[in-house]
Structure 1
């Protein structure tokens, strides 16, 4: 029986699809309808397709059953899709997951708001949990715990959650829960080797050697070099043997890996711009107010000297495993979008959020 294939190739700094967010919306709508979706990575060659009868190569995409109801949904969103006789099998099948978004004292409003916006644009259903609800054990009703950036490197989480809340998170991750932390949220699962820092969960074999001194870096635009371009989080983003990412960075962890249970996925490569000295951005940041804030208004600009001393070649994106569950740690801010080459809406960097959640939803 023929299949529908939805390509998600990267074309320059854009997607082959007209809208990155609409692609995610369609996938989430199909999952809500109980439709099975397979995720295909790392290149596919088709001998014949409905658009390319002579055959075609696609970088990546999703496949599902072929029926009129699905086709009508794809048409309504202006999607590009193919009808193919067969698709190479894959173990990557996305399932509908219950996402808990942390919204307690440790969640910085400036960082939560853009993340919520991206989730809504991508059609993800999620429930916000505060500190009290986590302490009550409600996290156990979810599959993924998504933790946005925070005002510091961890003490604000503890101020809201306390020992009981931390223990509930550990129980969640020791059971069947997956974790996704961005910036401050990437600090939380780290291991502290300092008795004066009881504010991390001590779950993953990685640390930040500067401990709680989050302001020692600052904010700016950074380039990260992808190390594992076949990891699902970089699908539709990485292309070829060498790929990089340009992102907003805002005092996130400089991750040092200490054990085999953690893999570095991308490293800090260079500082592109900040509000410091001669490296202020000279280009139009268009509608991205958060990017503008990071390099023009924030009191703590990231300098070249500080970048080279504390971030250069350190891990910026990492994946860890705990009790068979995945933990994703992103130090920069993909949810803040691009750094000026196009409007923020439908930024290619949003794919890192969508891919991360899809990856954690694969069973």
Structure 2
């Protein structure tokens, strides 16, 4: 039998290995995302998020509140609620729609909430989903709009593959949260912390700095990530949305 020099054999093994990776990537099933666009969803959140996820290879289905009762979350991996008004989103989907979303996550689906969608995932609002042991620190929510600084935690760095240094991010009245004291839910884990704050319109000062900007948690068999600020509208931080959806769909941390 003809033998080959060792370097040639090593190169052949490497080429076969790389070929198998490429084949798996080509045949990989795209993450299937349901993106809410109805009452309460406002601004640039929906189009920006859709563009980011589509470019990342996800299959994105935009849905209305009434679609929840018609099986829109069937065969989906992640549901996304973006910015606008959390109360309007919650009231728009109603009691029945909220139960559909909760069942979806409880049975293994992923939930990404940005700004209003983050409020929606919290506890102790009559219209919210209660996916996280989290509540707002104050009923005064109109903290302002503009740029603030946040810093990723070690877990946030691992999940997003971004470095640790402080990052400027778009903020628009997102929730400032603290534990809600629910014993039926596991504690959330911060992925990023605010390092500066906005405190306009009589909102309490001093509560935003060092509070969670982005957190992850578990609800039943499903995974939850909420972001108070807007990485989808911040150049250079769009990867946070992409990596969050990958993790929510069951992907391993980088």
TM-score, length-scaled by structure 1: 0.58
Contact 1:220–1:302 at 8 Å: present in 2 too?
A: no
- The superposition leaves residues 203-239 of structure 1 with CA deviations (integer Å, 9 ceiling, x where unpaired) of 211111224x432x0111111122224654321x12x
SS of the residue 2:129 aligns to: coil
**1:351 is paired with a residue of what secondary structure?**
helix
RMSD: 2.7
SS in structure 1 at match of 2:209: coil
Assess if the C-alpha contact under 8 Å between 1:188 and 1:199 holds in 2. yes
Residue by residue, what CA displacement relative to the aligned partner does 1:306-345 show, whole Å, maximum 9, x if unpaired? 584341111111000011321011111111123xxxxxxx
Q: Does the alignment pair 1:34 with 2:35? A: no
Q: Is the 8 A contact 2:193 2:210 kept in 1?
A: yes
Instruction: Work out whether residues 135 and 161 of structure 1, in 8 Å CA contact, stay in contact via their aligned partners in 2.
Output: no
Match of 2:128 among 193, 200, 205: 200
Partner of residue 354 from structure 1, selected from 242, 248, 251: 242
Among 269, 282, 285, the residue aligned to 2:195: 269
Q: Is it true that 1:250 corresponds to 2:172 in the alignment?
A: yes
**1:269–1:128 Cα change, 3 Å:** same
Matches within 5 A, 1:1-363: 1-2=13-14, 3-4=17-18, 31=25, 33-35=26-28, 96-150=30-84, 152=85, 154-192=86-124, 197-211=125-139, 213-215=140-142, 217-229=143-155, 231-235=157-161, 237-238=162-163, 242-258=164-180, 260-271=186-197, 303=200, 308-338=205-235, 348-361=236-249, 362=251
**Structure 2 equivalent of residue 82 of structure 1:** none
Displacement after TM superposition at 1:305 (Å): 8.8
- Number of residue pairs matched? 231
1:111 offset after TM fit, Å? 2.3
Partners of 2:121 and 2:201 in 1: CA distance: 28
User: What's the CA shift for 1:116?
Assistant: 2.1
Structure 1 stretches lacking a partner, 5+ long: 6-26, 36-94, 272-300, 339-347
Question: Any unmatched runs of 5+ in structure 2?
Answer: 1-12
TM-score normalised by length of structure 2: 0.81
Greater helix fraction, Structure 1 or Structure 2: 2
Q: Could you tell me which residue of structure 2 aligns to residue 19 of structure 1?
A: none
